[in-house]
């Protein structure tokens, strides 16, 4: 059954364009907000995915990112704080013929919605989660979030935060996630490529988008996304390719004992053959976890699809159980049920 | 089985209570007894009474588990105030239940368990079997453990297995007392222990041993004869309120053609609805055991948006957790049924006891102006009908509906006349059709104010809903002050209009008189029995029992105005009476309340009603 999803989402009979997904609502994010680029990437990738436009559905919680459903012309629910994953679970289970997308932020999914976030991942329900990680509460105007770096001064941490932040990738993999990817909002091409892969994945896919909040956490990701340094501080992972990065394509990642290590090609006899080759589809999450945890300054930050392992999805298993139940049950309708077991006639 | 030796006492109704340690199998014993009574043609009502702990310490009062059965030749409306027969399997169960035995009741005890240590652990200063404290009862000291072991000795089973069948010995004594056949119980053994023939044999042996014991020692002095109840012809079954609730929803799903989705989280005493529906993937029911109460309702809201008949089931504390999401369902005007099997509160309260104290929470427990339909079932069997109606109203009126039952109805059982699904009222949800050029998410039917249900996947109907205030008709986000006022008014009016589609309130008795007794929800049995009793005595008293709470039936004012006095009886501190004071302020209301985790007794109500009649 693995690798053979038994449900398909109906494909569009006509070629769709970006315009098919543009909503008539005014987009009310701040000028310069990273969310604009994400919206544009979604409108670009949806026609490529090829489903009927009526089969797309967006679900969100509360926060800046969660206004997303109003700005894209699909079916949609703008939910309540933290509950997008629970709402999306119900949508997908009740109607597996929908391509379900979820827009959420670091507070929405990892603070107030932490419970739903880990459980949708654990169940592997086929929902595509776009996690806008700007490391701050934007809509409530600048309080620290579960991903705010320790020590950051925010409105609710005037002396600096004293909380250890979550690394979303670590959380996703800890919850037995089958798909985790990371992108930056400054690279539209990377976003579309990875979102397409997320859509193709059967099961919960989480795409962490390192997003800039221009008002309350400007340049929070600058240390890895800044044009001048990004080539040396990012590595884009592709399945089957050796892990090479750097402005001069001369750095790489190898496994040294049980740990990852950054090496320079040509130094100390290191060649491409010494480097790790990315295996996106590996079931064992060990290396994926190490890759997801790589952080500046010791490592480049891993971007692209870090993990895409195939496991049965909850929604497929539900349909299997229903099909089995219907084929094998003696009770075929409610009248059968009402008259099952001990009953007697009174005249 | 013909009884020859003892005296035969004709009875219209008998109340039997089985009590013992949590592990003594009292729930099963009570259930088997009820099934046999039903097959003998009697009407009945049952109520299990068990501790919150799975296995409290052995032989303690805290660990006592009970099962009460009221059987009769007449219509049985309650599970009975006090019992005629008390079967107590250990000293602790006798200690905690003697207060529920009628004066002169037959008390059957397992003599072997009344050892000094156990008697002391139960809190007795001296052995109650010997100190004369039970002189006013017909005490039967049966050596149940010894005789069970003796009857099974030839089979060579281990002691644990042998002692587990002690309850069947007690059941055998009861079958002798009522001169009932073993057939239904044997059928149960044969099905339940299909792969364990020695267990079937052991249970049958012990059951017969109990019967023979009663027959031989003539300890019972007399046996009961309860003739068949005069019931409306039809096919019947025994059903608990929680199972009836689950089946009502299955029927509503089938009749409406909308697939059933339940998002729920286990909580006493509502869990059985979740368990029951989980069995019926074969009927297309999608049951999602969520990670918490909030995910339960939120998944149901998601499912509802996609066109499912969506449900969430819970009890009081769970309803608190769902409050915010109910608001989302109100704002998005999506159909949703929230079942609250009420228990004692506040907080964790009395999880296994029953109360009606969540009415305020159902009516008002949300932020903002947030009206929902509230209805309440009133018997274990009519949980089926009100679950069906809750789903019908939710879908046809595009609104959340809170269905209130309680632990007493949910766990209790009653005979249920089996309906045909085709005879149930039709359910026609307001589905939007593909490419409807006039479709707007919040365009309403002018009569009902109901918006259309547009299912994702349908061509030409893409739209968004959400928790932010909606622009009238178009459904876009709006903060316009006058639009907000209009939408608040529309949501309220939509729910009030449900009153045009529900039955008028009935009065049991005369439409005018000295006193109207008002009750609602799970107290129908004792209140109606008390009122009927007094009506027979010629008192000028009538009864109005409410199932539709929000909105109230349209004729409520007319119902209330025919009486000099109105007495509202409920198992809380006065929530429905205050709701009536608010909605129908022109009357003077009196109230009678009890908040002890216990149902009303007929005798206390008779006393209170009489008092109210006599007061100047």
Cα distance from B297 to chain A (closest Cα, Å)? 8
At residue B507, φ and ψ (nearest 5 deg) are: -115, 130
A-to-B residue pairs, Cβ atoms closer than 8 angstroms: 211
- Flag whether B434 is in a domain: no
CB contact under 8 A, A338 and B419: yes
Distances (CA, A) of B562 to B40, B168, B551: 43, 53, 21
Give A55's contacts in chain B (Cβ within 8 Å).
456-457
Average confidence (pLDDT) over B549-577: 98
- Flag whether B273 is in a domain: yes
Confidence band for A7, pLDDT divided at 50, 70 and 90: low
Average confidence (pLDDT) over B374-390: 98
**Pair (B28, B100) in one structural domain:** yes
Average confidence (pLDDT) over A65-88: 97
CB contact under 8 A, A115 and B292: yes
Q: What sign has the CA pseudo-torsion B202, B205, B206, B207?
A: positive
DSSP assignment of B300-334 equals HHHHHHTT-EEEEEE-HHHHHHHHHHHHHHHHHT-
Q: B110-152, pLDDT tens digit by residue?
A: 999 999 999 999 999 999 999 999 999 999 999 999 999 999 9
In which region does residue B449 sit, left (phi positive, over 0), alpha (psi from -120 to 50) or beta (all else)? left
Paired with B569 in beta bridges are B592
Give B236's contacts in chain A (Cβ within 8 Å).
343-346
Asked if A63 contacts A136 with a C-beta cutoff of 8 angstroms, the reply is no
- The beta strands (E) that lie in B259-389 are given as 260-264, 286-289, 309-314, 336-342, 373-376
CB contact under 8 A, B232 and A346: yes
Residue B428 CB neighbours (<10 A): 12
Q: Cα separation of A182 and A303, whole Å?
A: 5
The strand order across the sheet containing B513-520 reads B541-546, B513-520, B563-570, B589-593
Q: Is B254 on the interface with A (CB under 8 A)?
A: yes
Residues 6+ apart with CB under 8 A from B120: none
**Pair (B256, B402) in one structural domain:** yes
Q: Could you tell me which of B378, B289, B339, B321 has the C-alpha nearest to residue B78?
A: B378
- The beta strands (E) that lie in chain A are given as 56-60, 75-78, 99-105, 127-133, 179-184, 205-210, 234-237, 244-245, 251-256, 259-264, 301-308, 344-346
Confidence band for A273, pLDDT divided at 50, 70 and 90: very high
Q: From the candidates B291, B329, B459, B468, which should be mutated to test the interface with A, based on the most A CB atoms within 10 A?
A: B291
**Pair (B242, B368) in one structural domain:** yes
CB contact under 8 A, A333 and B421: yes
CB contact under 8 A, A88 and B459: no
Q: Cα separation of B7 and A285, whole Å?
A: 78
**Pair (B247, B352) in one structural domain:** yes
In percent, the amount of chain A with pLDDT more than 70 equals: 98
Q: Would you state the pLDDT for residue B57?
A: 86
Give A22's contacts in chain B (Cβ within 8 Å).
none
Nearest CB to A326; choose among B263, B282, B288? B282
Residues 6+ apart with CB under 8 A from A323: none
| CATH fold of the domain at A18-220+312-328 | Rossmann fold (3.40.50)
User: What is the value of pTM for the model shown?
Assistant: 0.94
Q: Would you state the pLDDT for residue B616?
A: 80
Domain boundary among the residues B423, B455, B483 is at B423
CB contact under 8 A, A347 and B233: yes
Residues 6+ apart with CB under 8 A from B271: none
Residue B357 CB neighbours (<10 A): 22
At residue B260, φ and ψ (nearest 5 deg) are: -80, 130
Give A338's contacts in chain B (Cβ within 8 Å).
237, 247, 251, 418-419, 421
Distances (CA, A) of B39 to A114, A312, A347, B208: 53, 47, 13, 19
Give B456's contacts in chain A (Cβ within 8 Å).
54-55, 57, 75, 91, 95, 98
Q: Would you state the pLDDT for residue B23?
A: 85
CB contact under 8 A, B291 and A119: yes
Q: Would you state the pLDDT for residue B1?
A: 44
- Residue B470 has, within 13 A of its CA and on its CB side, a CA count of 27
- Flag whether B361 is in a domain: yes
Q: How many H-runs (helices) and E-runs (strands) does chain A carry? A: 11, 12
DSSP assignment of A216-256 equals TBTTTTHHHH-TTTHHHHEEEE-TTSB-EESTTS-EEEEEE
B88: enclosing H helix or E strand: strand B83-88
- Flag whether B215 is in a domain: yes
Average confidence (pLDDT) over B503-510: 98
Paired with A181 in beta bridges are A207, A305
Compute the C-alpha angle A149/A154/A158, nearest 5°: 110
**Pair (B158, B115) in one structural domain:** yes
Q: What sign has the CA pseudo-torsion B472, B394, B464, B264?
A: positive
What is the average pLDDT score of chain B?
A: 95
Q: Cα separation of A103 and B557, whole Å?
A: 50
Q: Cα separation of B476 and A23, whole Å?
A: 11
The CATH number of residue B572's host domain is 3.40.50.920
Q: Would you state the pLDDT for residue A6?
A: 40
Domain boundary among the residues B402, B423, B444 is at B423
The CATH number of residue B19's host domain is 3.40.920.10
Measured between its terminal Cα atoms, the distance across chain B in Å is: 56
pLDDT at residue A236 above 60?
yes
The single residue listed with the structure tokens 């979030």 is A145
CB contact under 8 A, A53 and B462: yes
More confident residue, B283 or B49: B283
Chain B, nearest residue to A121 by Cα: B291
- Flag whether B492 is in a domain: no
- Flag whether B38 is in a domain: yes
Q: From the candidates B300, B302, B416, which should be mutated to test the interface with A, based on the most A CB atoms within 10 A?
A: B302
A109: enclosing H helix or E strand: helix A106-110
B587 by Cβ neighbours in 10 Å (0-12 / 13-18 / 19+) ranks as: middle
Cα distance from A62 to chain B (closest Cα, Å)? 9
Q: Print the domain residue range for B30.
A: 7-225
Domain coordinates in residue numbering, chain A: 18-220+312-328
- The pairing of strands B336-342 and B286-289 is unpaired
- Flag whether B465 is in a domain: no
**Pair (B38, B139) in one structural domain:** yes
Chain A, nearest residue to B421 by Cα: A335
pLDDT at residue B39 above 90?
no
Mapping DSSP to helix (H, G, I), strand (E, B) and coil, where does residue B350 land? strand
- The pairing of strands B413-417 and B234-240 is antiparallel
Domain boundary among the residues B401, B423, B445 is at B423
At residue A325, φ and ψ (nearest 5 deg) are: -60, -45
Tokens read off for A300: 């480049």
Paired with B400 in beta bridges are B336
**Pair (B245, B175) in one structural domain:** no
Cα distance from B211 to chain A (closest Cα, Å)? 24
Residues 6+ apart with CB under 8 A from B393: B373, B375, B399, B401, B498, B501, B502
- Flag whether B414 is in a domain: yes
Q: Would you state the pLDDT for residue B54?
A: 73
In percent, the amount of chain A with pLDDT more than 90 equals: 95
Q: Would you state the pLDDT for residue B2?
A: 45
Tokens read off for B359: 């009415």
CB contact under 8 A, B418 and A328: no
pLDDT at residue A19 above 60?
yes
**Pair (B243, B216) in one structural domain:** no
Q: Would you state the pLDDT for residue B5?
A: 53
Chain B, nearest residue to A79 by Cα: B466
Average confidence (pLDDT) over A235-243: 98
Give A69's contacts in chain B (Cβ within 8 Å).
464, 466
Q: Would you state the pLDDT for residue B6?
A: 60
Q: Could you tell me which of A111, A102, A120, A59 has the C-alpha nearest to residue A82?
A: A111
Average confidence (pLDDT) over B301-327: 98
Confidence band for B7, pLDDT divided at 50, 70 and 90: confident
Average confidence (pLDDT) over A294-313: 97
What is the average pLDDT score of chain A?
A: 95
Q: Could you tell me which of B446, B486, B451, B447 has the C-alpha nearest to residue B469?
A: B486
Mark which residues 193-232 of B lie under 8 Å from A by CB: 231-232
pLDDT at residue A275 above 50?
yes
Q: Cα separation of B176 and B215, whole Å?
A: 7
Q: From the candidates B281, B464, B478, which should be mutated to test the interface with A, based on the most A CB atoms within 10 A?
A: B464
pLDDT at residue A2 above 90?
no
Distances (CA, A) of B597 to B53, B68, B153, B408, B573: 16, 16, 44, 10, 12
At residue B132, φ and ψ (nearest 5 deg) are: 85, 0
- The pairing of strands A301-308 and A234-237 is parallel
Q: B566-577, pLDDT tens digit by residue?
A: 999 999 999 999
pLDDT at residue B578 above 90?
yes
CB contact under 8 A, B247 and A78: no
Q: Is the ipTM of this complex over 0.90?
A: yes
Q: B349-375, pLDDT tens digit by residue?
A: 999 899 999 999 999 999 999 999 999
Paired with B362 in beta bridges are none
pLDDT at residue B43 above 80?
yes
Q: Is B466 on the interface with A (CB under 8 A)?
A: yes
Q: Cα separation of A259 and A291, whole Å?
A: 10
Q: B139-191, pLDDT tens digit by residue?
A: 999 999 999 999 999 999 999 999 999 999 999 999 999 999 999 999 999 99
**CA quadruple A132, A87, B314, B61: dihedral, nearest 10:** -40
- The pairing of strands A251-256 and A259-264 is antiparallel
Q: Is B284 on the interface with A (CB under 8 A)?
A: yes
- Number of structural domains (chain B) is 3
Residue B493 CB neighbours (<10 A): 13
**Pair (B190, B72) in one structural domain:** yes
Average confidence (pLDDT) over B475-487: 97
Mark which residues 468-497 of B lie under 8 Å from A by CB: 468, 476-477
The CATH number of residue B389's host domain is 3.40.50.970
Q: Cα separation of B255 and B426, whole Å?
A: 7
Q: Cα separation of A105 and A66, whole Å?
A: 7
């Amino acid at each position: 059954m693995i690798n053979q999803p038994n449900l398909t989402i109906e494909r569009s009979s006509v070629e769709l364009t970006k315009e098919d997904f543009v909503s008539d609502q005014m987009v009310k994010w701040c000028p310069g907000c990273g969310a604009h680029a994400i919206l544009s990437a979604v409108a670009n990738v949806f026609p490529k995915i090829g489903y009927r436009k009526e089969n797309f559905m967006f679900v969100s919680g509360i926060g800046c990112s969660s206004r997303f459903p109003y700005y894209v012309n699909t079916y949609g629910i703008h939910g309540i704080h933290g509950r997008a994953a629970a709402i999306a679970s119900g949508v997908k289970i009740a109607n597996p013929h929908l391509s379900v997308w979820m827009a959420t932020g670091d507070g929405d999914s990892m603070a107030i919605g932490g419970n739903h976030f880990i459980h949708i991942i654990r169940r592997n329900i086929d929902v595509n989660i776009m996690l806008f990680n700007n490391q701050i509460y934007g809509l409530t105007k600048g309080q620290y979030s579960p991903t705010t770096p320790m020590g950051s001064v925010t409105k609710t941490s005037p002396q600096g935060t004293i909380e250890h932040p979550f690394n979303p990738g670590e959380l996703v993999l800890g919850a037995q996630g089958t798909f985790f990817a990371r992108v930056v909002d400054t690279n539209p091409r990377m976003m579309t490529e990875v979102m397409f892969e997320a859509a193709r994945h059967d099961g919960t896919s989480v795409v962490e988008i390192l997003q800039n909040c221009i008002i309350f956490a400007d340049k929070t990701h600058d240390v890895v996304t800044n044009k001048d340094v990004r080539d040396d501080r990012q590595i884009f992972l592709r399945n089957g390719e050796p892990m090479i990065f750097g402005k001069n394509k001369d750095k790489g990642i190898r496994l040294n004992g049980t740990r990852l290590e950054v090496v320079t090609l040509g130094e100390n006899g290191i060649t491409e053959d010494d480097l790790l080759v990315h295996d996106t589809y590996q079931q064992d999450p060990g290396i994926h976890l190490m890759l997801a945890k790589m952080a500046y300054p010791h490592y480049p930050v891993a971007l692209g699809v870090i993990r895409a392992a195939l496991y049965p999805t909850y929604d497929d298993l539900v349909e299997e159980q229903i099909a089995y139940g219907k084929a094998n049950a003696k009770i075929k309708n409610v009248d059968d049920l009402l008259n099952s077991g001990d009953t007697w006639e009174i005249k | 089985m013909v009884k020859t030796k003892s005296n035969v006492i004709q009875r219209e109704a008998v109340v039997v209570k089985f009590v013992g340690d949590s592990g003594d199998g009292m729930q099963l014993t009570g259930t088997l007894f009820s099934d046999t009574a039903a097959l003998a043609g009697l009407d009945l009502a049952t109520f299990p009474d068990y501790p919150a702990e799975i296995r409290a310490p052995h032989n303690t009062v805290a660990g006592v588990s009970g099962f009460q059965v009221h059987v009769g030749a007449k219509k049985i409306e309650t599970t009975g105030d006090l019992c005629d027969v008390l079967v107590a399997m250990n000293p602790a169960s006798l200690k905690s239940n003697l207060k529920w035995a009628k004066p002169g009741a037959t008390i059957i005890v397992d003599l072997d368990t009344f050892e000094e240590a156990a008697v002391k652990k139960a809190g007795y200063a001296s052995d109650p079997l010997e100190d004369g404290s039970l002189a006013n009862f017909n005490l039967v000291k049966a050596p149940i453990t010894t005789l069970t072991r003796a009857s099974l000795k030839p089979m060579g089973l281990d002691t644990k297995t042998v002692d587990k069948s002690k309850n069947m010995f007690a059941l055998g004594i009861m079958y002798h007392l009522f001169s009932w056949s073993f057939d239904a119980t044997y059928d149960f053994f044969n099905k339940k222990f299909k792969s364990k023939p020695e267990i079937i044999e052991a249970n049958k042996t012990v059951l017969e041993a109990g019967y023979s014991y009663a027959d031989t020692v003539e300890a019972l002095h007399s046996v009961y004869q309860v003739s068949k109840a005069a019931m409306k012809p039809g096919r019947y079954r025994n059903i608990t309120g929680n199972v009836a609730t689950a089946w009502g929803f299955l029927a509503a799903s089938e009749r409406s053609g909308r697939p059933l989705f339940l998002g729920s989280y286990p909580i006493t005493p509502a869990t059985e609805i979740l368990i029951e529906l989980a069995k019926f993937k074969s009927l297309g029911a999608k049951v999602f055991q969520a990670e918490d109460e909030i995910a339960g309702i939120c998944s149901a809201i998601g499912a509802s948006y996609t066109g499912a008949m969506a449900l969430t089931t819970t009890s009081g504390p769970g309803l608190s957790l769902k409050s915010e999401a109910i608001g989302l369902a109100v704002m998005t005007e999506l159909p949703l049924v929230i079942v609250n099997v009420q228990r004692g509160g506040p907080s964790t309260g009395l999880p296994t006891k029953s109360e009606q104290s969540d009415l305020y929470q159902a009516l008002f427990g949300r932020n903002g102006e947030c009206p929902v339909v509230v209805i309440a079932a009133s018997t274990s069997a009519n949980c089926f009908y009100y679950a069906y109606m809750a789903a019908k109203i939710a879908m046809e009126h595009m609104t959340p509906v809170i269905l209130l039952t309680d632990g007493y109805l949910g766990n209790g059982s009653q005979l249920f006349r089996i309906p045909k699904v085709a005879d149930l009222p039709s359910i026609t949800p307001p589905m939007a059709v593909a490419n409807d050029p006039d479709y707007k998410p919040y365009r309403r039917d002018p009569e009902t104010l109901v918006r259309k249900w547009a299912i994702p996947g349908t061509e030409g109907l893409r739209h968004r809903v959400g928790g932010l205030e909606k622009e009238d008709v178009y459904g876009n986000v709006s903060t316009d002050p006058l639009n907000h006022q209009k939408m608040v008014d529309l949501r309220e009016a939509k729910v009030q209009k449900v009153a045009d589609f529900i039955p008028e309130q009935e009065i049991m008795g005369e439409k005018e008189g000295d006193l109207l007794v008002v009750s609602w929800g799970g107290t129908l049995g004792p209140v109606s029995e008390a009122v009927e009793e007094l009506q027979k005595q010629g008192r000028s008293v009538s009864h109005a029992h409410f199932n539709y709470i929000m909105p109230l039936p349209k004729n409520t004012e007319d119902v209330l105005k025919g009486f000099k006095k109105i007495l509202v009886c409920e198992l809380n501190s006065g929530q429905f009476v205050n709701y009536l004071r608010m909605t129908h302020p022109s009357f003077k209301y009196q109230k009678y309340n009890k908040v002890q985790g216990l149902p009303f007794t007929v005798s206390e109500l008779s006393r209170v009603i009489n008092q109210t009649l006599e007061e100047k």
